[in-house]
Structure 1
Amino acid sequence: MSTLSTATITTPALVGGRSLISAGLFARLTARIADEHPELATDMPARIMDQALAFLGTCAVATRPVGPSETVDIGWHTFVLYTAEYAEFCTRVAGRFIHHVPDDDPTVSPVQVKLADVVAVITAAGYRVDPGLWPLEARSDCSQCHAGCHDTPVK
């Protein structure tokens, strides 16, 4: 008679993007979003910044093009303004600077990415996704990939 053992399989808990920066910096960034976007509900600045950080953490390890939703891009734009903190974050998390490259040149075909694919990559990278900030039927109009590359930029 054989004895079957059962192993418990645990799935690692997904983390919030806000875990990538200090509470003080997170508070400064969310306060700026709230000041610059008074039309947002009171919980939105923190949600936006959390997802922008999860997105940027994903950019550090993504092997295919990813881009933020329009709402999440607000958080990225805000963080980029804090150049010293943003540069330190990029070096620490990605080992390189994560450029914000909008696809606004009408002569160049933009690399458009389905947000449903981006959400899958963010989750695979270990971050929680706030589904309300990622309209899955939409496409992103900006990319972390400089010059429309299709792989992770060289570190």
Structure 2
Amino acid sequence: MLTVSDLISPAAYLSVVGTVQDANPGMAGGMAQRITDEGLKFVVACAKAPGAALAPSRVVDDGWHALILHTKVYEELCASLGDFVHHYPGYDPDNYDPLILVRTQDAIRAAGCDVDEELWGAPTGEQLVTVAAQCQHSPSDTGPIKPMPTPRPPCRDKP
């Protein structure tokens, strides 16, 4: 299995974990690491499956957001994976494709990573942990926000 924490420097990894914790006061370091790891796995899956319709869970999205905030680290990660994974935010838990999280977890496994299934709950279901992210993802930043529609275009664009 791919160890995603090795995809960025140890200092960068700890900084991203710290950003997850800063956004979620009182969160244990171990939980912040799990969320960061799943965010990294999500980016790997998107880069490895450019035509797939993928999206993170709300919990995993917090790890992705923290990673994106480290712009240089994120840019270098995407470059090392072969493609930039763009972020199109939105939030509407009523417009949700339940299979999108299944497809995403399958893509993570296909990319050589294990899945921390407890962190992949639906936006309307009970979460293992409550996080700051109130975000899901729309297909572009030019149209109305319709996160997780069915069918959904790829989770990122090629430049």
TM-score in terms of structure 1 length: 0.73
Among candidates 88, 92, 101, match of residue 115 of structure 1 = 101
Farther off after superposition, 47-56 or 112-121: 112-121
* RMSD between superposed Cα atoms in Å: 2.9
CA distance in structure 2 between the partners assigned to 1:132 and 1:56 by the alignment: 18
Give aligned pairs, total: 137
- Distance in 2, matches of 1:103 and 1:38, equals 23
AA aligned opposite 1:16:
T
Deviations 1:109-130 (A, max 9, x none): x684521221111101111111
Q: Distance in 1 between matches of 2:42 and 2:157?
A: 16
Partner of residue 149, structure 1: 153
Residue of structure 1 aligned with 2:118, choices 118, 127, 132: 132
Alpha-carbon shift at residue 146 of structure 1 (Å): 4.4
1:56 aligns with 2:43: yes
Distance change >3 Å, CA 151–CA 27, structure 1 → 2: closer
Q: Distance in 2 between matches of 1:152 and 1:101?
A: 8
Partner SS, residue 38 of structure 1? coil
Q: Which residue of 2 aligns with 1:91?
A: 79
Q: Secondary structure at the match of 1:43?
A: helix
Q: Distance in 1 between matches of 2:35 and 2:118?
A: 10
Counterpart Cα distance in 2 of 1:16 and 1:67:
21
Q: TM-score, normalised by structure 2?
A: 0.72
Q: CA deviation at 1:138?
A: 6.5
Q: Does 1:37 align with 2:29?
A: no
Distance in 1 (alpha carbons) for counterparts of 2:140 and 2:82: 15
Larger radius of gyration: 1
* C-alpha contact (below 8 Å) 2:17/2:33 kept by paired residues: yes
SS in 2 for 1:56: helix
Flag structure 2 segments of 5+ consecutive residues without an equivalent. 126-134, 142-151
Instruction: Give the Cα separation in 2 of the matches to 1:17 and 1:80.
Output: 15
User: Helix, strand or coil: the match of 2:86?
Assistant: coil
Shift of 1:151: 8.2
> Where does structure 1 lack aligned partners over 5 or more consecutive residues?
1-13
Asked if 2 retains the 8 angstrom alpha-carbon contact of 1:114 and 1:137, the reply is no
2-side partners of 1:64 and 1:55: how far apart? Answer: 12
